[in-house]
Amino acid sequence: MIQKGMQVKVLYDFDGDPDNGELSVRAGEELTVTAQDIGDGWWEARNSLGHQGLIPEAYVQLAEPPEPSFPPPPPPPAGPSAPPAHHYTSESSDDVNGFHDNQYNGGQGYDNHGQTLPQQSSQEGWDDDDWDDFDDQSSTSTAGHNNHDLQGQGNFGLSVAKREKISPTGVPGGENLSRYGTVRVSRFSNFAKAGGEAFLMGQATPPVHISEGDKVKIIETRDGPIWAATESYTCEIKSPKKESKLKGLKSFIAYQVIPSFSNIQVSRRYKHFDWLHERLKEKFICIPVPPLPDKAIAGRYEDDFINERMKQLQYWMDRMVRHPVISHCDTFNHFLTCTDEKKWKVGKRKAEKDEFVGFKFFYTLDTPRQPLDVRDVENKMETFQKFVKGMDDNVKNLISVFHDNRKRHTGPFKKEFSRIGGAFKEAATTFNMDIGSYSRDLTAAIDYTGDTYNQIGEMYAKQPEKDIDPMHDMLYEYKGILGVFPDVLKVHEGALSKARECVKLQEDGKMQENEVTNVIQQSDIISYGTMAEVQNFQRQRVADFKHTMHVYLSGQIEFYKEITKVRKRLTCGQV
């Protein structure tokens, strides 16, 4: 058997799909195997250039044995591409990928690197003092989980589904899978590697018992599935304070977090927020958890930076407490309420061993019993993918426009009015040299005009904080959310792709009807969860834009009213 680190030789050309983590190879090329425990007849390998990715197992052989005198057998009867769709559209969601760009730093926005799949490592005994020393240092590991049915040890720190021995034709071995006959090698995606196929195919053992507290209810409305309403509350972040430990060797900023349901404040550092963010991303695979404010190395203890970061953390917290699912999960509640250090560590370890993370979160969904119309689901999701792409472009454009507008308010606009005001003031100074009574009123009026223009310049400079800045902040929030939404959509696309493949296998007589029915039912659960989140996003978007547009337009109206008042005072008998 080929082991990790062994050399293999490529038998056939393979054009991989980079979006699915695949590696393109050519016949005769030698590769180094880095992982075999992938699933569905796929291995992970690295080429001589150091590029790493997934390859079909059946397309390579051991490089050590001498070349046989006869040519290699023909390629497997089915290539690694997915089978054609049956009652499904074939469009992919690739048009929503590639949104993960960095935003401005210094706490002015969000680090939109997108959701990354975490490394898996054992953190038993990892207490609070073992965290990274600096609040702004990225966490590089997350806790291991007891998802042995869904996940195993994979490369890149990813967890993958357990798999049976795979034959060169891509047929899963073992008695319980022999009924599939000769199965085409399905095109691999991170969906499979993260345990999605195990969930859909029933290869994962569902939890024996799911408590009522763990269940998440989805209800059907005329607009589509939505998360069931939960009790709302607020949470305030305030009173940042520089603290230290180890006799002052390590310094950090602690924020006071006060949820409205208890009014008990808890002290949290940035690293605690970072920990919470990682836990939420890992648990809620169908919810786009927005990124935190940027990390920083320099200037972390300056007042302006601290206040700006606190404001951005407040925006992030406001969005989390408004989410009907996140706001009531145990991990989030532990973050908001735990004041005892020992209990914090116990709850922290419990959260890191949460059974319902990733695809196992779908086991907790209590969905409507009505089967979904696959064509309708695909059409809606295709439209939403286009919406996300369009809104992402719109938000970036608006950010650019308001950024330039703010610069003009604090720069050219103020400067131009100040120049005019200064010129009038200089003229008044000269005219004041004439002490005649006939000149006194005119000189005073010109001097007043100069003051008025200077005042208008200052009004322009101060106005952005009243209307442009709230708009700017809201747009950056949505830039962060839209940057991670493609990962959520990829999960759903993976479920539909696998369901399409199973329908095709049934048509070819390679899969039983009851098995395909079970796959469709599991796929419906993922669809219900994804569409409920889409509805939540759209409703929140409407509320956010209504509020922010009201603030912006009200601010603009009041601003020009004040400008008008100043100019009226200037023209009413002053000159």
Res 144: pLDDT: 38
Res 63: pLDDT: 74
Per-residue confidence band for 377, with pLDDT thresholds at 50, 70 and 90: very high
**Mean pLDDT on 58-78:** 61
Task: Provide the β-strand partners of residue 268.
Answer: 255
Give one DSSP letter per residue of 122-164, joined into a string: --TT--GGGS-SSTTSPP--EE----TTT-EE-GGG-EE----
Does residue 413 come out as left (phi exceeding 0), alpha (psi in the -120 to 50 range) or beta?
alpha
The domain ranges of the chain are 6-62, 225-366, 374-571
The answer on whether 309 is annotated among ligand-binding residues is: yes
Model pLDDT for residues 433-479, shown as the tens digit of each residue: 998 999 999 999 999 999 999 999 999 999 999 999 999 999 999 99
CATH of 225-366, one of 3.40.190.10, 3.30.230.70, 3.40.720.10, 3.30.1520.10: 3.30.1520.10
pLDDT at 273 over 90: yes
Burial of 123 (0-12, 13-18, 19+ CB in 10 A): middle
Of 23-32, 311-320, 365-374, 564-573, minimum mean pLDDT range:
564-573
Per-residue confidence band for 294, with pLDDT thresholds at 50, 70 and 90: confident
CATH of 374-571, one of 3.60.130.10, 3.40.50.300, 3.90.1720.10, 1.20.1270.60: 1.20.1270.60
Q: Which amino acid is at 169?
A: T
CATH fold, domain 6-62, is SH3 type barrels. (2.30.30)
DSSP-based three-state secondary structure for 366: strand
Gap between the Cα atoms of 571 and 575, Å rounded: 7
Per-residue confidence band for 139, with pLDDT thresholds at 50, 70 and 90: very low
Gap between the Cα atoms of 29 and 17, Å rounded: 18
DSSP-based three-state secondary structure for 451: helix
Res 353: pLDDT: 92
Gap between the Cα atoms of 334 and 319, Å rounded: 17
E strand or H helix that includes residue 505: helix 468-507
Of 61-70, 250-259, 375-384, 491-500, minimum mean pLDDT range:
61-70
pLDDT at 560 over 80: yes
The answer on whether 415 is annotated among ligand-binding residues is: no
Gap between the Cα atoms of 425 and 448, Å rounded: 8
DSSP 14: B
Q: Which residue has the higher pLDDT, 145 or 220?
A: 220
Task: Provide the β-strand partners of residue 404.
Answer: none
The average confidence (pLDDT) of the chain is 79
**Mean pLDDT on 327-334:** 95
Gap between the Cα atoms of 55 and 14, Å rounded: 8
**527 within 8 A of 519, measured Cβ to Cβ:** no
E strand or H helix that includes residue 391: helix 374-408
The answer on whether 407 is annotated among ligand-binding residues is: no
Distant-in-sequence, close-in-space partners of 421: CB < 8 Å, separation ≥ 6: 449, 450, 451, 452, 453, 454, 455, 456, 457
pLDDT at 293 over 50: yes
Model pLDDT for residues 497-536, shown as the tens digit of each residue: 989 989 999 999 988 999 999 999 999 999 999 999 999 9
